[in-house]
Structure 1
Amino acid sequence: MNASAANWPALVGRWIVEHRCALGSVVLVAVLWWLLLPWKSNAATWCEAFGLADFYREIGDGGIGRAIGESLWLFPVIEVVHLFGLAVLGGSVIVMDLRLLGVGLKNAPPARVLANTRPWFFVGLVVMIATGVPLFLSETTKCCFNHSFEVKITALFLAVPYTLAVRNRVAVRDGVSTCALQGAAVLSLGLWFTVAAAGRWIGFSG
């Protein structure tokens, strides 16, 4: 048995220590999924649990929701723009997080990468919200009984403040350890992946 094979436990232990922050973020995302994902299809949504079904129906019967629901082309057009906004936002997030992970743009300081990607993040976020609201108004009843919708909204409300208040600050601070940078990036990717995956699954569930 060669020396490298004999020392594999030490090598694995060293790798775990070096990437402990990233691994911790993976655990946090896994816990989030375990808390949010509906393991039982018959479990009540928050809308049902808090008796908001009638409220959802009332706002869905308004002019905007009804107009979109009765139109043959409004919903798909708005959804395409919504997905475009998600792609823009997701692209900015991925570029920044890969830099924090040390995978790409290694010669560019994180602060400069953030300065270049932050405007696109806000553009994508504004487009997502501006198109997401009318999409919701056109399918309020479906959203009320859809677990994927509540997962997406919960993850979105976690991802936005985390990105702005935590990850972005970590990216611009001097002297931040590689461990902290990797942990911030992995948690960011996990949250935004949850937003995208749950949003995509809304059309296949509920």
Structure 2
Amino acid sequence: MLADLLAAVERLPVVGALKASFYAYPLVNALHILSIGMLVGAVVLMDLRILGVARGVEREPFLHLMRVTAALAFPVAALTGFALFSVRAGEYAANPAFQAKLALLVLAGLNFGAFRRIAAPAAAGTAYPAPAKALAALSLALWPAILVAGRFIGFL
């Protein structure tokens, strides 16, 4: 059943156009890389600021800017990632690096949700509680791991 769904994705007309175009796939790939760079860069900078790096930078405006950047970059990364996946959906779905990347993305999402629950009650200008800092540190490990898993997709 899953194999049929993945094969159907590969047969979508827009996927056929993506495969047939000399320019489309490389441009989608470039946009994916750009959006991932923006997303991971924003997340890493937020995590570092939450952990106390760059105390001279006013925390709340900086974190707001990084949240907006991440919020804009994530959907672009997800859409372009799905477009890239759709070209060889069956092959990628069976790829251990792709599976690891998806699992790490789920963990990063759960980590983000937990962070929001723990950090939300903290008033602006007050220190983040230790559990929130631990989740920021975990985020610093998860996002580079997602990048590495993503890079390995083409090599496995």
Question: Same fold by TM-score, threshold 0.5 exceeded?
Answer: yes
Post-superposition shift, 1:70? 2.5
1:167 is the counterpart of 2:111: no
Cα distance, 1:177–1:125 mapped onto 2, change above 3 Å:
closer
Post-superposition shift, 1:167? 2.7
- RCO higher in 1 or 2 (8 Å CA, sep ≥ 6)? 1
CA distance in structure 2 between the partners assigned to 1:140 and 1:197 by the alignment: 20
**How many residues in Structure 1 have an aligned counterpart in Structure 2?**
153
- Offset from partner CA, 1:157-183 (integer Å, 9 cap, x none): 2213422x2334555514556633431
- The structure 1 residue matched to 2:130, chosen from 173, 179, 182, is 179
CA distance in structure 2 between the partners assigned to 1:167 and 1:92 by the alignment: 16
The SS at the match of 1:72 is coil
Q: CA RMSD in A?
A: 2.2
- The structure 1 residue matched to 2:70, chosen from 116, 121, 133, is 121
- The structure 2 residue matched to 1:75, chosen from 9, 17, 25, is 25
Q: TM-score, normalised by structure 2?
A: 0.84
CA distance in structure 1 between the partners assigned to 2:128 and 2:111 by the alignment: 19
Alignment of 1:28-107 (within 5 A): 52-103=2-53, 105-107=54-56
- Offset from partner CA, 1:39-89 (integer Å, 9 cap, x none): xxxxxxxxxxxx622321122111122221222221111010001000111
CA distance in structure 2 between the partners assigned to 1:111 and 1:170 by the alignment: 17
For structure 2, the residue ranges without an aligned partner over 5 or more in a row are none
Give the percent of matched residue pairs that are identical in Structure 1 and Structure 2: 29
1:150 is the counterpart of 2:99: yes
- Report if the CA contact (8 A) 2:50-2:128 is conserved: no
- Report if the CA contact (8 A) 1:89-1:124 is conserved: yes
1:192 is the counterpart of 2:130: no
For structure 1, the residue ranges without an aligned partner over 5 or more in a row are 1-50
Highest CA radius of gyration, 1 or 2?
Answer: 1
- Hey, what does 2:60 align to over in structure 1? 111
CA distance in structure 2 between the partners assigned to 1:81 and 1:118 by the alignment: 19
- Report if the CA contact (8 A) 1:159-1:191 is conserved: yes
Cα distance, 1:89–1:177 mapped onto 2, change above 3 Å:
closer
